[in-house]
Amino acid sequence: MTKNIKVNAAILIIGNEILSGRTKDTNTSTIALWLNSVGVNVKEVRIVPDIKEDIINSVNLLRKKNDYVFTTGGIGPTHDDITAESISEAFGVKYEIHKEAFKILESYYKPGEFNEGRQKMVWMPSNAKLILNPTSGAPGFSVENVFCLPGVPSILKSMLGGLKNAIAGGKPIISYTISLRTVESEIANSLTEVQNNNKDVDIGSYPFFQAGKLGVSIVIRSEDQAKIDTCNSQILEFVNHKNIEIVERT
């Protein structure tokens, strides 16, 4: 039986390319959805540049405030990939060649292809545990409660499944969305009343613009399906009373 405990995580996105807008961050959504499915609630997301001091300070702050920290980016073979070195300094451990990672990549590449640049990817904190990479060979790593993953979305996604046994979460967090053809001002008071009557359920409203028309998506989140059902009934009650069109329920 799953214990009713609250388990929190933070996500740290590392990379100048995210801050510049050249690259869109899709990893936050991927990680958050996966963590919710294993009973971990994401409490904070940060984006920092490829600056060692910023990475160290953020990691040390977040790992003390949360049960888990997930970082993405900065573990590749180029000069600006400094996450592993920064994590080593954050924990005060040696930055060195990880023997198991070396063997994995040495066998992954053809003879002569495992060059000096690629060997940079096997330098890690001395106490790192590997996160296996089924897509491109180069492993991620974890140190205590900090899990370091690559920035490439498809590779990151393929690696999450292998972490399930390393994460101890609470009950899976369930999400239900009701999309309405309305504006927030029309439902604000009624939605506030539902939230006040169900304080242990997370209810959010998010405007959207689709097919030339405005709408609002109401998202209900809880570990308890019965509580979601109760909120859903209360929301539908005022929606029907106000004759608001329901666009979609997911």
Q: Taking the domains of the chain in order of start, what are their residue ranges?
A: 8-166, 174-249
Residue 3 clears pLDDT 70, i.e. is over it: no
Query: Cβ(151)–Cβ(73) under 8 Å?
Result: yes
pTM of the model: 0.81
CATH 3.40.980.10 holds for 8-166:
yes
Residue 49 clears pLDDT 90, i.e. is over it: yes
The predicted-structure confidence for 112-134, as pLDDT tens digits, reads as follows 899 988 999 999 999 999 999 99
Domain 174-249 is classified in which CATH homologous superfamily?
A: Ribosomal protein S10 (3.30.70.600)
CA nearest to 197, candidates 230, 223, 174, 244: 230
| Diameter of the chain measured on Cα atoms | 71
- Specify the pLDDT at position 4: 57
- Specify the pLDDT at position 2: 45
How far apart are the C-alpha atoms of 186 and 217, rounded to whole Å? 13
| CATH topology identical between 8-166 and 174-249 | no
